Structure 1
Amino acid sequence: MTLCNIQCLERISNYLDVSPVHLEMNENVIISTEQTTNQKIEGFSTIIQSLIKNSKCSDILGSNKETEALTRQWLEYTVVCVNYADIPSNGKRVLQELNTALKDNTYLTGTKKTIADITLYYALHSIMRQLTYQEKAQYVHVSRWFDNMQQEKKLRQQLDLVSFDLMHLFL
């Protein structure tokens, strides 16, 4: 199973208030078909960037060229690494890498949420939901970031709140 899937793209589309696009899987590649032009776009990251162009969120990629480049790198990281984090050995490695990256940052690219944070939130939700309280404590920076992200109702949509109640650690 992959975490960068059609459901993830649909959630991103909803978050960006972009009318739904037709999405399909074809040999492990997601393809989006623009309904007005019938143009096909392939690839998870490319489809996300197309959704951004059709949204009113002009700075969701970042407010400057450096942040935009970093955001695109995080999108690629999500496709290449996080996509397979549902395999336990991959999941631990990804969580360790993210924990290091978020050590000194509120969000992936600094102090402002970008599409990379939004995408990663949706891709990691099922992983974070399955972690024990002790595992969440091991990845304290990822847990802080994730808990912060999930507080936005528009972002969370119908996803369950993941508990980070520290009292369970001390019982």
Structure 2
Amino acid sequence: MSVLHQPLLQDILVHYLFNMALNFIEQNVTKYFNISNQQYSNLTKANEIQHLKSENLFVWKVLEAISSSSNLKNSDVLWSSSEEEFLIRQWIEYTNTHILHVNVGQVSSHVLNELNQFFARQSFLVANRLTIADIFMYYSLISIFKDLSFQSKEKHQHVSRWFNFVQSLPQVRLGNPVVMFSKTPLY
């Protein structure tokens, strides 16, 4: 294969993998928050039309649909203050820009180190409970954690602890396969 075709193939592969990851996240988030197919369709159309204006429009639209869902009006996963809402939006933005738009190798090293440092001091991304931000982050990291070795999971013990807790909640995992962790220290 000529060198000229490699960047094009790489771009196509990155675009394909990004869309697969985004579709996986969208399916799980819409299932978890019980967003109707019509709402999902409207959000997707809005994102296609506005894509050039804001690559994060879909995330904000999903948040709007979730927060207006009658099933979640008084839910603990939503924010209880404007500060929590800001932090949730900030973490979803982080997920979108640092995980979904980056190749897997870069995510595995840099982002896992950042998250590991964060979870050394915190149990959840926002407040002292599971929120929408944790759910988005969990769905974004499933494919990464699935491919990590036991040694890598142990190296990132704090983010692994958080991930393992979130995946233990059946209402969040939604039938996704359980990512295995070593029960005994390896080192």
TM-score higher than 0.5: yes
Tell me if the contact between 2:167 and 2:178 (Cα under 8 Å) persists in the aligned partners. Answer: yes
Structure with greater strand percent: 1
The 1:167/1:71 distance shift into structure 2, 3 A limit, reads: same
Moved over 6 A (4+): none
> TM-score when scaled to structure 2?
0.75
- Displacement of 1:45 in angstroms is 1.4
Q: Give secondary structure in 2 for the equivalent of 1:5.
A: helix
* Bigger helix share: 2
Residue segments in structure 1 that go unaligned for 5+ positions in a row: 25-30, 34-39
Q: What is the root-mean-square deviation in Å for CA atoms of aligned residues? A: 2.2
Give CA deviations for 1:32-87 in whole Å, capped at 9, x if unaligned.
24xxxxxx245331232133123522353311111111110001001110114542
Structure 2 unmatched runs, 5+: 1-16, 51-56
Once the two structures are superposed, the pairs formed by residues 1-171 of structure 1 within 5 Å of their partners are 1-2=17-18, 5-20=22-37, 21-23=39-41, 32-33=44-45, 40-41=46-47, 43-52=57-66, 53-58=68-73, 59=75, 60-167=77-184, 169=186
Residue 93 of structure 1 and its aligned partner are, at CA, apart by 0.6
Query: Kindly, what percent of the aligned residue pairs are identical?
Result: 29
> How many pairs are equivalent?
158
TM-score scaled by length of structure 1: 0.82
Q: Name the aligned partner's letter for residue 158 of structure 2.
A: H
State which drifts further: 55-64 or 116-125: 55-64
